[in-house]
Amino acid sequence: MKRTLGLISLALVASSAFAQNRNAIEVMLVAANPEAPAPTASWDTYKMVKDRLGIDLSFSMLPPGVDGDNKLGSLAAANDLPDLFEIRNRSLFFKLQEQGQLAPVESILSLMPKRTRARYSDKKRSVLVTVNGKVMGLQDPVNLSRQYGILIRQDWLDKLGLKAPTTLDEFLEVAKAFTERDPDGNGKKDTYGFGGVIDFDTAGILPGLGLGNHFQWVYGAYGVAGTWNYKAGNKFAANVKDPNYRKATEFIRKMVEAKVMDPDWATMKRSDLRTRWQQGKYGMFFESVGGLLAGYRNFDANNPKAEVRYILAPKGPGGKNATGTFASAGWLFAVSRKALDQGKGPAIAKFLEWANSGEGYNQLAWGKKGVHYNLVKGVPTVTTNNPSERGQYTQMRWLAMNGNTTELKGRYGPITSADGRTYNLYSDFLTVARKSPWIDRTGDLAVPSAPNQADIERYVSESMVQFVLGQRPLNDANWTSFLNGLRGVGFDQYEQNARSVLQKTGFIK
């Protein structure tokens, strides 16, 4: 009975609740902390938004990945899209735009001057979401990128009397020593020089074609990091066609031949890599600051005297180096046309402006002051006594966070080992990992996927794996046949398309 009553009242509520209240906005974002629950109905942010801005905020979470895309698709078909929502899949963004589901955001941009100046005034980024001269989305700058780098076990270097490598040749020498000279002193040959896996995750960096994020620095040393070379005119081409691309691949082959990598590297996942560096199996490994921070306690417990730090990406024969390529564009938010038609534009702008800085920023990005974070010399510093509650509290943080230095300082403060040694992660990250050149390739996001994008990526990736594992000898004949095979997957069309889009959008001359 109660159920039935509930059902009837629910139906009534559903039909009347959104009776065009201009100050009621529905926001739907992918959970910032998927392992934590959603904010409760009594979340004091709701009250704060109501008191300060006069807005009735309702927030719901979108599942990550394909399920989230499907959900957005169904909502769109039912003309039920939330007022403000996040899209992580660019092709879905353009599909919704074609269907007329998205609102042009110019009118909203002018109502939130501070946020627009800080986040939406970069031409390079707005071009990514501009269709027929109209800006159709809120393309935030990336708030955490280039957060990866090569980490090295300083204690192993000291023990073996070695210096951190600065060139590829030195890198190989150090890696060999870490593999063969028992740096952990346990009498077993169970360590490896370098830990990396084939990973195409795009958490703030672009993996390019081939072996993914963890090996981009090798290609960077030969000046061919990333998918395209961004040279103007007829010189524009995919890096994979550059002779240097083969040289970089040959270097990785050398690493495999020298057995300085985990024999499982080609089939391992990122989580396996994390498990193993935490166990102290690797002398050098590719990792993000977040991954390092999250795994540090475990690592410290397994290796009580260990010391890790970031090193600059090693230089190639031509003196070039790069850790990888990245895009300056981060999260993408959109406003539904329905919301704009119902006159909710000003309320959305007001809320976003509030989330951009000051009180709103602190509330969404850091949580409750004194409970989830404290201000230490003006830097919001996370208190770690209740990560799950903080996670629940900051599920909307990607609307607020901006990646400025204060924020990074707060997020990546010093870590202390069990025996009291302090490692200043933030400064290391900023002075080393970020200094190590990263190549801005924001334009890559403007290039539409080829119809058979997956085939192209798989073809290049599988060929490279065969070459570096020695399943296919790396000789002229085989390399030529690999390059010829690119035609078979329609690569030339993809390349021409990329070139014309990049020229049109002004990313190349």
Partner 1 sequence: MEDTLTSRKPRTRDDLLFDGLINGILLFVLIVTLIPLVYVVMVSVTPMGEKSSLFLPPTQWSFSAYIELLKQPAMLRAGLNSVIITVGGVLVSMIVTVLTAYPLSRRDLPGRKIISGLILFTFLFNAGLIPLYLVIRDLGLINSYWALLLNGAVSVYNLFVMKNFFENLPDSLEEAARIDGASELQILWHIVMPLSKPILLTIGLFYAVTSWNNFFDPILFFSDREMMPLPVILRDILTGLNSADYAESTSNTTSHPEALKMAAVVLTTLPMLLIYPWIQKYFTRGTLTGGVKE
Contact indicator for 443, 324 with CB cutoff of 8 Å: no
Looking at beta carbons only, is 346 or 387 nearer to partner 1?
A: 387
Least separation in angstroms between CB 73 and partner 1:
8
Give the per-residue contact string, 196-215, with partner 1 (x = CB under 8 A; - = no): -----x-xx-----------
Residue 235 near partner 1 by CB under 8 A:
no
**Among 21, 166, 275, 497, which residue sits at the site for partner 1 (rule: CB under 8 A)?**
275
CA 170 to chain centre: 30
Least separation in angstroms between CB 342 and partner 1:
18
- Rounded Cα distance between 283 and 270, Å, is 17
- Identify the bridge partners of residue 490 per DSSP, sorted by sequence position: none
Give the per-residue contact string, 405-434, with partner 1 (x = CB under 8 A; - = no): ------xx----------------------
**Among 212, 220, 291, 443, which residue sits at the site for partner 1 (rule: CB under 8 A)?**
291
Reported residue count of the chain is 509
- Identify the bridge partners of residue 86 per DSSP, sorted by sequence position: 333
- Of 130, 272, 159, 148, whose CA–CA distance to 202 is shortest? 148
Question: In degrees rounded to 5, what are phi and psi of residue 178?
Answer: -65, -25
- Identify the bridge partners of residue 287 per DSSP, sorted by sequence position: 149
Give the 3-state secondary structure of residue 286: strand
Return the range that interacts with partner 1 (CB under 8 A); candidates 24-32, 343-351, 446-454, 494-502: 24-32
Residue 403 near partner 1 by CB under 8 A:
no
Return the range that interacts with partner 1 (CB under 8 A); candidates 118-126, 272-280, 433-441, 445-453: 272-280
Residue 71 near partner 1 by CB under 8 A:
yes
Query: Under rule CB under 8 A, which residues in 377-396 are in contact with partner 1?
Result: 382, 384, 387-388, 390-392
**Among 19, 35, 233, 476, which residue sits at the site for partner 1 (rule: CB under 8 A)?**
35
**Among 271, 406, 427, 493, which residue sits at the site for partner 1 (rule: CB under 8 A)?**
271
Token pair of 284 as six digits = 């050098």
129: which DSSP letter?
G
- Return the number of other C-beta atoms located less than 10 Å from residue 295's C-beta: 15
Residue 70 near partner 1 by CB under 8 A:
yes
Give the 3-state secondary structure of residue 471: coil
Would you call 495 exposed, middle or buried from its count of C-beta atoms within 10 A (0-12, 13-18, 19+)? buried
Least separation in angstroms between CB 63 and partner 1:
5
Q: Are strands 192-195 and 308-311 parallel, antiparallel or unpaired?
A: unpaired
- Return the number of other C-beta atoms located less than 10 Å from residue 490's C-beta: 15
Residue 146 near partner 1 by CB under 8 A:
no
Contact indicator for 323, 313 with CB cutoff of 8 Å: yes
**Among 22, 44, 50, 77, which residue sits at the site for partner 1 (rule: CB under 8 A)?**
77
Residue ranges that bind partner 1, judged by CB under 8 A: 3, 6-7, 10-12, 14-15, 28, 31-38, 60-61, 63-64, 67, 70-71, 73-75, 77-78, 80, 144, 147, 201, 203-204, 270-272, 274-275, 279, 288, 290-291, 293-298, 302, 382, 384, 387-388, 390-392, 411-412
